[in-house]
Every structure is written in C-alpha cells, then in structure tokens.
C-alpha cells in the first residue's frame, strides 16, 4: 500500500477497453453484455459470518428482466457455522422465526465480469428484509453503519488488506482425502523474499496477480513469506466497503485459481504448528490492515501532518484503536486457531503497543504525506474484513470523539517492555472480555455483540468437544 494516487477500479467505474469482457462494469454495460450473449451467468453473492460468499448463479437473461430484483435466500445463511451446522440461540433467525426468507439486494456498483469464469459476472448483494429494511447482523451492514458514522463526522475511510496464505501441491479434494495431513508445501522450505523459491509456483501466482487485477481487485505485488509454501499478496487501497469486497473476492479468486492449477491454498491463521520431529517451522498467515481517514470528498488525508510525525487526528484515532482492541478481539481473531498464530515469540504481535518501523507492536504508523496510515498487525488471514474494518473504524471514531491518546510507544521490542498490555491469549479469554463489554455494545450495538458472541460460544463448544491428534499421541498408550 504505497501508491498515493487514486486506486479505484471498482465501485461502478468502467474498465472496458481492449478486453470488453472482464472487470468492473456499469449496470448499463452489464445489460449490454448480457444482450450480446457475452455474459450468460450472473452470480449474486453476499458474505456470511466468516466472509464466505453464498448466493445463486442466475441465468443472465432472467437477471436482465429485473436487475434490481436480486435473490431470495434463507436466513439460515447467517446462521451456518464453518461446517454448515446450525448455530442456535440467535436472536435474528432460527426455528423461532421459521428460518424465514431474506433478500439479497444487488449493489450494482460492485458488478464485474470475472476473468476466471466463462461468461460470468458477479454482483455483491446487501442482505435486507423482504420489505427492504437492513439486517443489522449482515457483515456489509455492520461496516456500512460505521461508514455512515464517519460520514456524519465529515470523514471517508480508506483501507487495504495485506493477506498471506499457504500453497500446497495437493488439490482440495486430495488434501481432504488425506485428512489435511502430510501435505506438500510449495515451495518446501522457508522462502521469505526468495525469487527462486517463488518461481516454483509462479504460473499460479502470475495468474493471481493478472486475473485478480483484471477482475477489479488491483494487486501491487506478491512475495515469498517465511513459512514453507507461504506467499503474501498486497492489494491496493480503496474506500473501505470497496476494499472489503475486494478482500473477499480476492480470497475466492485465489482458491478458484488454485483449483485450476491442481493446488490448494489455505488462509488459516496457523495451518501447521511444527514439531521437534519436523523441520517445518510454525508460520502464521496475517492480514495486516491499513487504514486512513480522509475528508468528506476523499481528497485530503487527515492523518497527514506537515513537519510532524503524527497529526492530532491520527493520534486520537490510534488512541481509540488501542483502547478498544482488547475488548473487540473476536472481530480481529475470530477462531480458536487465530490465537495459535499470536504466540508472542515471532512476527505476530501480542503486545498492545504502537511504533513506527517496528514489527513487535500491534499498531504501526507508516507512510508519509498522503500515504500516512495506521497498520493493524493483529488480524490473521482468517479475518472477516467487514467486521474487522467496522471494528477499526468504530474504535478510531470513538478515540476521536473522546480525545484519547495512544498507549505505550515501543522503540524496540514491545514484548520486553514493562507495563505493556498483553492481548488476549485465547478465543475464550477474548470472548470473556467481548461478551460483557459496554464499549463493544456502544460501538457495534448490542444486537451485533450478541450475534458475534453466539458464534464464538458455538465454536468453543465444538472445539472443546473434539479429540485432537495431540491428545491421541500423548494419551493413547500412556494414559
């Protein structure tokens, strides 16, 4: 996230040119492509609790008859867990509502023709009731509400995600058949910044860079990361809702392209822990989130400060982030596995401190001039961007409203500084702080807090009921 020019290629701005059949399109252009037979399928999709896309593939001529009609879908789609079991006791939906219908209302500003799917367009939908009322627990709604708060205060927000993932030579079907054990990483050694190592998967990564950019998800670069088979791809910044949509479409694209190359890619926070018997080191996949606050027109970065290291606006925004992070951790580290990345002895931060060029802290202030921004290093690649962006923007606005100052500054290793707060070590610890947080309820609304709490409680119950490989290895003979 280094370029300060306007990066927008989505949001309804047409990129039709030499290739008229890929990338973002306007409503009228999409209907023209459908009429010409160049688009035969329209995917109407919305993100779920985990930022997975769900929806329908619609026959394009039928879509064109009434583009604003959208899709009817069951409210169970905001109640599935990762294995598509019901999460019970939700206020919004369940047997007490009959798992009623909800509607996916197309956001035509997100329409794009997918380069990796034949004659197929995709449109993100907002989840609404049948009468058009917003659904408070829908991820895009959660983010929109924080952006509305920012707009009311005279701000726009721009964000970007830096996502890491691991690549394995087995396809998804082959990996599943092996129980996700003994997979073959590509490359099979540490490859941080190594050009030769990344050449092993360059045909796949070249597709990722080119095809995602063609789809309106501009990629700046890719590089090898520390872990075996690990890669980082950086996306260009954009207005926050557009950026979250890009984040989700990027993950979908990476997985679909991996399938085409006979590979699999995982965005787990920590897919393998590493053991004394294995040379493979534990290496988690992060999602460093960059955020900046701009004026209402999106022309002036309010974090920029002439001749100073920090503007007053960025200082208070950072103060809000640091005050709220410990109580909003389930929105940044949403799964049991998320906390296995945040162990505290490597590049994943566990200390609620801030700094400049310092990778031991939760927050960095980076860039200069129009590129000045705050980097949140806590989130992993398993994060839901809509929830994480909403939590960051809400926290930052809270800091501005209350004139909060940042917490401890680290010039060296934040882990060894006395008095620095340790962020929650587990999902259970994070839930205990989140569940009863008046701050979380104030920023997110009590409805959202209850919704997210119920999902976390469900995951913890499932996890605590599972018997792990470690338990069998330790106890099968010795117990």
Tell me: pLDDT of 276 over 60: no
Q: Confidence band (pLDDT; 50, 70, 90) for 11?
A: very low
pLDDT tens per residue across span 334-358: 999 999 999 866 678 899 999 998 9
Q: What is the mean pLDDT of residues 370-376?
A: 95
Angle subtended by helix axes 240-260 and 139-152, to nearest 10: 150
Lowest-pLDDT choice from 272-281, 377-386, 454-463: 272-281
- 161 vs 10: which has the higher pLDDT: 161
Pairing mode, strands 354-355 and 238-239: unpaired
Domains of the chain: 23-134 (3.10.20.70), 151-470 (3.30.590.10)
pLDDT tens per residue across span 415-458: 889 989 999 999 999 999 999 999 999 999 999 999 999 999 99
pLDDT tens per residue across span 178-226: 999 999 999 998 899 999 989 999 999 999 999 999 999 999 999 999 9
Tell me: pLDDT of 284 over 70: yes
Count CA atoms closer than 13 A to 330's CA, side-chain side. Answer: 28
The total of other beta-carbon atoms located within 10 Å of residue 143's CB is 28
Q: Confidence band (pLDDT; 50, 70, 90) for 36?
A: very high
What secondary structure letter does DSSP report for 420?
A: P
Q: What is the mean pLDDT of residues 12-17?
A: 42
Q: Confidence band (pLDDT; 50, 70, 90) for 280?
A: confident
The total of other beta-carbon atoms located within 10 Å of residue 447's CB is 14
pLDDT the model gives residue 306: 63
Q: Confidence band (pLDDT; 50, 70, 90) for 22?
A: confident
Q: What is the DSSP string of 126-187?
A: EEE-TTS-B-TTSHHHHHHHHHHHHHHTTEEEEEEEEEEEEEESS-HHHHHHTTT-S--BSS
pLDDT the model gives residue 307: 59
Q: What is the mean pLDDT of residues 296-318?
A: 88
Residue 119 tokens, joined: 């004659």
Tell me: pLDDT of 108 over 60: yes
Tell me: pLDDT of 13 over 50: no
Burial class (CB in 10 A: 0-12, 13-18, 19+), 41: middle
Lowest-pLDDT choice from 137-141, 270-274, 307-311: 307-311
Tell me: pLDDT of 39 over 90: yes
- List the one residue out of 44, 25, 23 whose CA is nearest residue 35: 25
Q: Confidence band (pLDDT; 50, 70, 90) for 273?
A: confident
Tell me: pLDDT of 305 over 60: yes
pLDDT tens per residue across span 117-168: 999 999 999 999 999 999 999 999 999 999 999 999 999 999 999 999 999 9
Lowest-pLDDT choice from 406-410, 460-464, 467-471: 467-471
3-state secondary structure of 121: strand
Using CA atoms, how far residue 140 sits from 57, 245, 294, in Å, is 20, 9, 21
Using CA atoms, how far residue 429 sits from 326, 328, 465, in Å, is 10, 11, 18
């Amino acid at each position: 996230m280094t370029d300060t020019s306007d990066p927008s290629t989505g949001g309804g701005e047409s990129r039709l040119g030499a290739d008229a059949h890929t990338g973002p399109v306007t409503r009228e252009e999409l209907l023209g492509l459908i009429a010409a037979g160049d688009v035969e399928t329209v995917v109407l999709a919305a993100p779920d609790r985990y930022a997975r896309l769900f929806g329908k593939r619609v026959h394009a001529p039928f879509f064109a008859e009434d583009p604003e009609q959208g899709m009817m879908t069951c409210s169970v789609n905001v109640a599935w867990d990762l294995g598509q079991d019901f999460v019970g006791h939700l206020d919004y939906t369940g047997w007490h509502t009959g798992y009623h219908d909800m509607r996916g209302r197309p956001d035509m500003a997100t329409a794009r023709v997918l380069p990796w799917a034949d004659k197929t367009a995709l449109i993100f939908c907002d989840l609404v009731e049948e009468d058009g009322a917003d659904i408070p627990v829908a991820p895009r709604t959660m983010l929109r509400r924080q952006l509305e708060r920012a707009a009311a205060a005279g701000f726009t927000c721009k964000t970007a995600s830096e996502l890491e993932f691991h690549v394995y030579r087995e396809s998804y079907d082959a990996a599943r058949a092996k129980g996700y054990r003994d997979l073959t990483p590509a490359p099979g050694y540490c490859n941080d910044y190594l050009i030769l190592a990344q050449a092993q998967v360059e045909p796949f990564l070249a597709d990722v860079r080119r095809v995602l950019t063609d789809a309106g998800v501009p990629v700046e670069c890719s590089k090898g990361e520390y872990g075996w088979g690990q890669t980082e791809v950086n996306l260009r910044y954009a207005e926050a809702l557009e950026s979250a949509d890009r984040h989700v479409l990027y993950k979908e694209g990476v997985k679909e392209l991996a399938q085409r190359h006979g590979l699999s890619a995982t965005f787990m926070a920590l897919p393998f822990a590493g053991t004394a018997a294995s040379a493979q080191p534990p290496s988690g996949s992060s999602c460093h989130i960059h955020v900046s606050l701009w004026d209402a027109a999106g022309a002036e970065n309010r974090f920029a400060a002439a001749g100073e290291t920090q503007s007053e606006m960025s200082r208070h925004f950072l103060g809000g982030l640091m005050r709220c992070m410990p109580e909003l951790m389930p929105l940044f580290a949403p799964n049991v596995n998320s906390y296995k990345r945040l162990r505290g002895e490597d590049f994943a931060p566990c200390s609620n401190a801030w700094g400049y060029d310092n990778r031991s802290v939760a927050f960095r202030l980076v860039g200069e001039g129009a590129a000045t921004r705050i980097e949140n290093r806590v989130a992993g690649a398993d994060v839901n961007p809509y929830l994480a962006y909403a939590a960051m923007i809400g926290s930052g606005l809270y800091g501005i409203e209350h004139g909060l100052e940042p917490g401890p500054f680290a010039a060296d290793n934040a882990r060894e500084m006395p008095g620095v707060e340790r962020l929650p070590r587990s999902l259970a610890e994070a839930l205990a702080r989140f569940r009863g947080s008046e701050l979380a309820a104030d920023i997110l609304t009590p409805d959202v807090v209850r919704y997210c709490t119920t999902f976390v409680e469900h995951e913890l119950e499932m996890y605590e009921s599972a018997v792990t490989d470690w338990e069998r290895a330790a106890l099968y003979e010795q117990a």
